[in-house]
Amino acid sequence: MKISIIIPAKNEAKSLAILLPEIQQQYASAEIVVVNDGSTDDTQKICEECDVTVVNHPYSRGNGAAIKSGARAAKGDTFIFMDADGQHRPQDIEQLLNRFNEGYDMVVGARGSESQASKARHLGNGLYNRVASYMTGQKIVDLTSGFRVVNAEKFKQFLYLLPNGFSYPTTITMAFFRAGYGVAYEPIIAPERIGKSHINLVKDGMRFFLIIFKIGTLYSPMKLFFPSSLVFFLTGLIYYIYTFFSDGRFTNMGVLLFSTSILIFLLGLISEQITALFYQTRSRSDDKAD
């Protein structure tokens, strides 16, 4: 198994000076790819001193874009993704690899309550996990963790889906689940990061939810459309009963609610058919490639 450790970095020279030597000491044979996402500090210099592969972005394209660049440049058949800010410890790689070698396609480092994060972020992550678990039909322990080991070939299948921002972990986790690949979670402790976080809780939090619904629509449309249709149908039914007993008639509003319910349900069915055709096309393409 050839391992490639991919590290997206934007102005993380201080933490990389500590992180890279630790990784090299523990995994001397591993390929280390640092994606310098338009840094203005000494990130490039530190990488050159440590003699690791560097992929340079002339300007900042985003964390997801850095992940995609690193995946395209890496040569290993197993990818390990880590943050450059010191929150992911090199000593935890071994336990993730051990779990991965049990036969999983992806193993995610799941942060516990003892990890260094604000209460707001813990609450937000918990909400993301519940929504995503509903969408995928699988229990998701840590949706947004960027510390993970994946099968390189299967990861590359979803590069076109990954956004350029910070929500790449959300997208790849849900994509793996809905594609039927094996995903496991391994508990880790994430210490306090070195330097200032690049994540905006409000802005990126909204993006995470949009990505969840985007992937949910792509892989399980009826999980979104059916509840919405049911809400309109029940509202129309209740309104019809009310107007029937109060006025003895079926109003235009009742017709509108029932019609909206039917239209949403039909849109869900069409989306399901499109999804099925998408998978048939992908399956045939994969068979031809094999």
Taking the CA of residue 157 as centre, how many other CA atoms within 13 Å lie in the half-sphere pointing to its CB? 18
CA dist list (Å): 92 to 110, 152, 168:
11, 20, 21
Which pLDDT score is estimated for 122?
62
- Are 184 and 236 within one domain? no
Q: What is the CATH number of the domain that holds 51?
A: 3.90.550.10
Q: Are residues 166 and 285 in the same domain?
A: no
- Do residues 91 and 49 both lie within one domain? yes
User: If you average pLDDT over every residue of the chain, what do you get?
Assistant: 84
For 202-229, the pLDDT digits (tens) are 666 676 677 667 766 766 788 889 999 9
* Interval 170-197: pLDDT, tens: 888 888 887 789 999 999 887 766 656 5
Same domain, 226 and 215: no
Q: C-alpha angle with apex 220: 261 to 72, nearest 5 degrees?
A: 140
pTM of model > 0.95 = no
Do residues 89 and 34 share a domain?
yes
Structural domain including 257 reads 222-289
Q: Give residue-wise pLDDT tens across range 94-148.
A: 999 999 999 999 999 998 756 545 555 566 667 777 777 777 777 888 888 889 9
Task: Give the tens place of pLDDT for each residue, 230-285.
Answer: 999 999 999 989 888 888 788 888 899 999 999 999 998 888 888 777 655 555 55
